[in-house]
Amino acid sequence: MSRYRGPKLKISRRLGLLPGLTRKVSKKSNRPGKDGTVDDKPKPTEYGIRLEEKQKLKFNYGLTESQLFRYVKEARRRRGVTGLILLQLLEMRLDTLCFNLGFAKSISQARQLVNHGHITVNKKVINIPSFQCRLNDIISIKEKSTSKNLIINNIKTSQRSEIPDNLKFDDTKLEATVLDYCDRNDVQLQLNELLVIEYYSRR
């Protein structure tokens, strides 16, 4: 299944606020549907609730179904709380880190920055958005005026109020250091990650 490229506000109306997908808010308050009403809608099943939580994760981080399933399998393999490890794996992706630093207004825009070679990790240009950063990695901007001007403008217009505690950002050098794995409170997405693990428990 390919990555979603359809209308973003329709997804946010159905699933709620997804900061990584878009920060725009639709003028319509009801969920998308045939007539926009929720009165005739049947009560959601347990499967439906788990599916919706999984969809939040998938659309927020811009993942395909196979990518998300691979992350879930990797989270299960590691020791610790599977749900938290899953979020930490997703938050350590290079495109997500660039978004959290305010380099881009959304994760999809951050993915484009990485693809076009504007971002370096430990002074090496990385053009793979899913690149897994490690502790003490230094994320910076390519030494090129177009790259710097683009990201400086994005930082100015970014709606990110503060940088997570697991990242240290140097305004003068425009570079960040990964200090630690993210804490659950640092994740912007409102989600019950346990339901996502339960959704994949039978696979």
pLDDT classification of 188: cutoffs 50, 70, 90: confident
Question: Is the confidence at residue 179, as pLDDT, over 90?
Answer: yes
pLDDT confidence of residue 161: 66
Number of domains in the chain: 2
Q: What is the pLDDT of residue 175?
A: 92
Least confident residue range of 11-20, 50-59, 136-145? 11-20
15 and 62 fall within a common domain:
yes
Do 34 and 98 sit in the same domain of this protein?
A: no
Side-chain half-sphere CA neighbours of 192 within 13 A: 10
Domain range enclosing 35: 8-85+188-199
2 within domain boundaries: no
Q: Is residue 3 part of a domain?
A: no
In terms of domains, do 99 and 175 share one? yes
Alpha-helix residue ranges (DSSP H) falling in the chain: 8-15, 46-61, 65-77, 82-91, 94-100, 107-115, 145-157, 193-199
Backbone angles phi, psi at 68, to 5 degrees: -60, -40
pLDDT tier, 135 (very low <50, low <70, confident <90, very high otherwise): very high
Q: How far is it, in rounded angstroms, from Cα 29 to Cα 37?
A: 10
- Residue range 114-140: average pLDDT? 95
Same domain, 24 and 49: yes
Q: Which residues contact 198 (CB under 8 A, 6 or more apart)?
A: 50
pLDDT at 15: 81
What is the CATH classification number for the domain harbouring 44? 1.10.1050.10
* pTM summary value: 0.87
> What is the SS3 assignment for 36?
coil
> Is the same domain home to 98 and 169?
yes
Query: What mean pLDDT do residues 104-127 have?
Result: 93
Give backbone dihedrals phi and psi of 93, rounded to 5 degrees, phi first. -65, 145
Same domain membership, residue 102 and residue 41: no
The pLDDT value given to residue 1: 44
Give yes or no: residues 23 and 51 share one domain. yes
1 falls within a domain: no
Task: Examine the domain organization and report whether 24 and 60 are in the same domain.
Answer: yes
Residue 33: pLDDT band with limits 50, 70, 90: low
If we measure between CA atoms, which residue out of 45, 46, 44, 54 comes closest to residue 18? 54
One domain, residues 160 and 139: yes
User: Of 76, 97, 16, which Cα lies nearest the Cα of 198?
Assistant: 76
Mean pLDDT, rounded, of the chain: 86
Report the CATH number that the domain containing residue 109 is assigned in CATH.
3.10.290.10
Residue 144 placed within a domain: yes
